[in-house]
Structure 1
Amino acid sequence: MPLTPTGEIVAAAATRRHAVAAFNVITLEHAEAIVTGAESAGQAVILQISQNAVAFHHGKLGPITAAAAAVAASAAVPVGLHLDHVTSEALLHEAPAHGYTSVMYDASDKPHTANVAATLAAARFAHEHGMWIEAELGTVAGKDGAPPLPAHAPGARTDPDEAAAYVAATGVDALAVAVGSSHAMTDRTAVLDHQLITALHHAVSVPLVLHGSSGVPDQQLRQAVAAGMVKVNIGTALNVSYTQSIRDFLTGDANRAKPTVDPRKYLTRAREAVTSTVAHFATLLANPPSGGRRSAAGPSGESVTLQC
């Protein structure tokens, strides 16, 4: 089916009181595995290509985007295409021409006033070009190898009043918040502040986004969705599955008389491992605990229906 706008997928998840998984794409195999896993789970999904992934592909946005979009177009479930953690205005301005329906513009490392100004400008550009836009307030640590922040460090948690003012001032469509997770975690030991998630959900008028979700245990993720998270970003967990499957294959292959040289042999294993990981998270996020405090309305109060 054609690409589904990210905003529609997120709004539908909010209506159903569950969350949509947004998975990071680095290679074609990632995109194929994400879509296959989402189809297995029967859930909509968002393919995310980050600014770091674009840098890996020699700074060229077009080729990896075209590959991901082609995979999405053949999917049996709704798939959105999202440009993630953009700090470059030039890259932001490329996005519409490549078919992106959404972008996460990240000015969170700037002083607050500069963050607001830069995000407002990005939101105006995005909306002028029909894109849904996400931003971040607070510091979700672990970006580019940075260590996690101590729990009580400045910026380690997003303040609900500041979040409400930030959304009103910038006009963004979704807000990534700092509630205890961290990027690039390879063990699942993060402890979320669920009371804060609930407070943020009641304070802001747009969907909440959880970054650094690979390090969050399953039950904590389910509780976070029940408390108000609507979009959940997952990247490192896929790479752990991908890399471990290749490592296991090559370790077992090393002592053979004729070791494998065809990358399709181990990339097939990697793709299958990522597919399984995606199916797990997509199913998990679609089934939060009952009795949560979420509203059944979409982010702007409307009821939204999306078949998936």
Structure 2
Amino acid sequence: MTIDPGDTVPLTTTGELVTRAAAARAAVASFNVITLEHVEAVIAGAESVPAPVVLQVSENAVRFRGGRLLPLARAAVTAAEHADVPVALHLDHVQSEALLHQAADVGFSSVMYDAARLPYAENLAATRAAVDWAHARGLWIEAELGQIGGKNGRPPLDAHAPGARTDPDEARDFVADSGVDALAVAIGSAHAMTTRTAALDHALLKQLSAALDVPLVLHGSSGVPDGELTAAVAGGITKVNIGTALNVALTGAIRDFLADRPEAVDPRGYLTVAREAMTRAVARALQVLGATIA
């Protein structure tokens, strides 16, 4: 990654990257970042391909950082401005209005507003209000319909549980009435999966793609095998969210490093191998998705 304080480039926007990917029937990868090492690894992995990328910060990550968005946001903005590939910033799974209202002032071009836990009518009303606020400030906004599951330690829903899949007719009405720019759909993936065993409902994806005129987003992609991911992109998924795969790479690298060096106390040693492992995971995911700079 090139680090030259005098050579910065403007951030791109999530909307631009997703629009470009949709036109090419491809997908843009959006990686959840928690630490500066995550940020550096995502950009380094994207530069190695090379491919555009989205850095996304979740409300859970902000909570982990003491409820303060600005420090990590500023680090991400600075790293993105020195990247050799297009980089956008996205605020992910936001439920707090206070956090939503910080997005426009700290470098984020997009927000995923998450009211999917609410009954349909309440989800729609809350999302419509968030869309109105976001669009007035030039922000691209994503929402979720159906329950992807696996957030905050909750298990994924059974495939046949009510609400476990996104209904195409309901989704069509939701998109029209809410005004969202993209929709995350529940088609069989789950958040926080550490094994790649998810089986996607490609027939449902085909129905959703035909029913909706906005880009479709796949959450919980860390648990989706390569073939399922490429089929999902071919079927209409345009933004692919990846988070747990980076944490698996980071944690595994640190465990191995400390097992071999029980006397180690300098974090730079194990954070270096952790960052390298995440960089490889990013590059691999981008190659699976076929994400490149046209």
User: Which runs of structure 2 are paired with 1:1-308 in the superposition (5 Å)?
Assistant: 1-254=9-262, 259-286=263-290
Amino acid at match of 1:268: T
Q: Secondary structure at the match of 2:118?
A: coil
Contact 2:51–2:293 (8 Å) recurs in 1: no
CA offsets, 1:141-194, max 9 Å, x none? Answer: 101010111111001100111111000000000000000000000000000001
* TM superposition shift of 1:260: 1.7
Structure 1 SS opposite 2:101? helix
Q: SS state of the match for residue 264, structure 2? A: coil
Which residue identity lines up with residue 98 of structure 2 in the other structure? A
Distance 1:47 1:26 in 2: 10
Contact 1:30–1:274 (Cα < 8 Å) also in 2: yes
TM-aligned CA deviation for residue 135 of structure 1: 0.1
The answer (yes or no) to whether the contact 1:47–1:79 under 8 Å persists in 2 is yes
Residue equivalent to 1:298: none
Q: Measure the CA separation in 1 of the matches of 2:276 and 2:107.
A: 28
CA contact (8 A) 1:83 1:100 kept: yes
Q: Distance in 1 between matches of 2:107 and 2:57?
A: 12
Residue aligning to 1:296:
none
> Which consecutive aligned stretches of 4+ in structure 1 deviate over 3 angstroms post-superposition?
none
Match of 2:6 in 1: none
Alpha-carbon distance in 1 for matches of 2:161, 2:49: 38
For the Cα contact (< 8 Å) 1:20–1:286, is it kept in 2? no
Q: Secondary structure, in 3 states, of the residue corresponding to 1:209? A: strand
Cα distance in structure 2, aligned partners of 1:109 and 1:148:
13
What is the alpha-carbon root mean square deviation over aligned residues?
1.0
Alpha-carbon distance in 1 for matches of 2:144, 2:239: 13
2:149 is paired with a residue of what secondary structure?
coil
The whole-number CA distance in structure 2 between the counterparts of 1:283 and 1:15 is 19
Superimposed CA distance per residue, residues 78-118 of structure 1 (whole angstroms, 9 cap, x where no aligned partner)? 10100000000010011111121000000000010000000
2 CA distance for matches of 1:307 and 1:245?
29
TM-score, reference length from structure 2: 0.96
Amino acid at match of 1:170: S
2: distance between equivalents of 1:211 and 1:91?
A: 21
Segments of structure 2 that go 5 or more residues without pairing to the other structure are 1-8
Structure-2 separation of matches of 1:133 and 1:151: 27
Q: How high is the sequence identity, in percent, across the aligned residues?
A: 61
CA deviation profile, 1:49-74 (whole Å, cap 9, x unmatched): 00000001100010000001111111
| Rounded Cα–Cα distance in structure 2 between residues aligned with 1:61 and 1:9 | 23
- Size of the alignment, in residue pairs? 286
Q: Please say if residues 120 and 170 of structure 1, whose CA atoms lie closer than 8 Å, have aligned partners that are also in contact.
A: yes
Tell me whether 155-164 or 278-287 shows the greater mean CA deviation: 278-287
Q: Could you say what secondary structure the match of 1:206 adopts?
A: coil
Structure 1: gaps spanning 5 or more residues: 288-305
Give the whole-Å Cα distance in 2 for the aligned partners of 1:70 and 1:196: 40
Normalized against structure 1, the TM-score is what?
0.92
| Residues in 2 aligned to 1:284 and 1:240: alpha-carbon distance in whole angstroms | 18
Query: 1:307 Cα shift?
Result: 5.3
CA distance in 1, matches of 2:289, 2:210: 20
Amino acid at match of 1:235: G
Provide the C-alpha distance between the structure 2 equivalents of 1:251 and 1:279, rounded to a whole number of angstroms: 26
